[in-house]
């Protein structure tokens, strides 16, 4: 079957399916006549298993070990359970620190941040893991970059069209020219905005960061 059929059947985007292929988790056959990927029912089952494991946040590397037989499923689940227990403990620590800040600090301007950062540092040395600033900063920076790129593209489309319309301000504009100056740029702007929204959605899901992480 084709990748579009697999996408609909499994509920995983084409981009993620190809990402799993790049990571060596999926190896569909290729049609010898045209070189296109041909996905089998076994590939679908494999993707469903990957989807299940990713839903419970099992890392790509762990799934790779499972598929290669380097670790048993029981060992994988034990490792993941320990990892989630650790994350649960970290969340509880952050909740406790929030309560402490709430009771000890009465005004934002009066907070002695270094005191609490030192306390966090001690907890981190003990194995605690707090918010990944890099992950959030990457998301924000990527979102801003996508918006700026889209606005620049729209400006490059709109400016020549507006300039041309101004040039015709005292003369009637032929219909073909009007279509070129208004309709076509509008179509491109809609496409740019659509792509931008899709890109922001992907960034917010952490796609770029996850791909880099694994």
Residue 179: the pLDDT is: 76
Q: Is residue 76 part of a domain?
A: no
Domain boundary residue among 20, 38, 68? 68
Statement to judge: residues 167 and 109 lie in one domain: no
How confident is the model at residue 137, as a pLDDT? 46
205 and 137, same structural domain?
yes
**Residue 207, in any domain of the structure:** yes
Domain assignment of residue 179, yes or no:
yes
106-139 tens-digit pLDDT: 888 888 988 888 888 888 887 777 765 445 444 5
Domain match, 165 and 208 both:
yes
DSSP state of 110: G
CB 65 within 8 A of CB 71: yes
- Of the candidates 88, 65, 85, the one whose C-alpha atom is nearest the C-alpha of residue 75 is 65
Q: Which residues of 35-73 are buried (b: 16+ CB within 10 A; e: fewer)?
A: eebebeeebeebbeebeebbeeebbbebbbbbbeeebee
At 118, is the secondary structure helix, strand, or coil? helix
**What total number of domains does the chain contain?**
3
* The predicted structure's pLDDT at residue 208: 42
Range of the domain at 109: 82-125
Does some domain include residue 154? Answer: yes
**Regions in the chain scoring below 70 on pLDDT:** 131-141, 168-173, 177, 203-214
Tokens encoding 155: 């400006």
For residue 167, being part of any structural domain is answered with: yes
Q: Say yes or no: 93 and 52 in one domain.
A: no
Q: Decide if 73 is inside a domain.
A: no
Q: Label residue 5 exposed, middle or buried (CB < 10 Å: 0-12, 13-18, 19+).
A: exposed
Residues 153 and 187 in one domain: yes
Residues 146 and 115 grouped into a single domain: no
Contact 26, 20 (CB under 8 A): yes
How far apart CA 53 and CA 80 sit, in angstroms, is 10
| Domain end (from 42, 68, 94) | 68
Tell whether 77 is covered by a domain.
Answer: no
Residue 14: give its domain's CATH number: 1.10.1660.10
- 3-class secondary structure, 21: helix
Ordered alpha helix ranges (H), the chain:
3-10, 14-22, 41-55, 60-68, 73-104, 113-125, 133-167, 175-178, 184-204, 207-213
The answer to whether 86 and 127 have CB atoms below 8 angstroms apart is yes
Q: Global pTM?
A: 0.57
């Amino acid at each position: 079957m084709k990748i579009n059929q697999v996408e609909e059947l499994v509920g995983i985007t084409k981009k993620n399916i190809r990402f799993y292929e790049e990571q060596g988790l999926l190896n569909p056959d290729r049609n010898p006549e045209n070189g296109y990927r041909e996905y089998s029912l076994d590939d679908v089952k494999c993707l469903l298993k990957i989807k299940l494991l990713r839903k419970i946040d099992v890392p790509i590397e762990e799934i790779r070990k499972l598929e290669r037989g380097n670790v048993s499923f029981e060992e994988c689940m034990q490792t993941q359970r320990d990892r989630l227990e650790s994350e649960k403990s970290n969340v509880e620590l952050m909740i406790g620190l929030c309560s402490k800040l709430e009771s000890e600090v009465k005004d934002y301007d009066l907070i002695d941040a270094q005191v609490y950062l030192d306390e966090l540092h001690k907890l981190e040395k003990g194995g605690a893991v707090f918010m990944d600033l890099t992950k959030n900063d990457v998301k924000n920076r990527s979102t801003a970059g996508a918006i700026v790129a889209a606005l620049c593209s729209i400006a490059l489309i709109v400016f020549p069209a507006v300039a041309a319309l101004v040039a015709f301000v005292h003369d009637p504009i032929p219909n073909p020219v009007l279509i070129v100056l208004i309709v076509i740029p509008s179509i491109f702007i809609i496409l740019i905005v659509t792509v931008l929204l899709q890109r922001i959605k992907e960034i917010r899901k952490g796609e770029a960061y996850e791909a880099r992480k694994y």
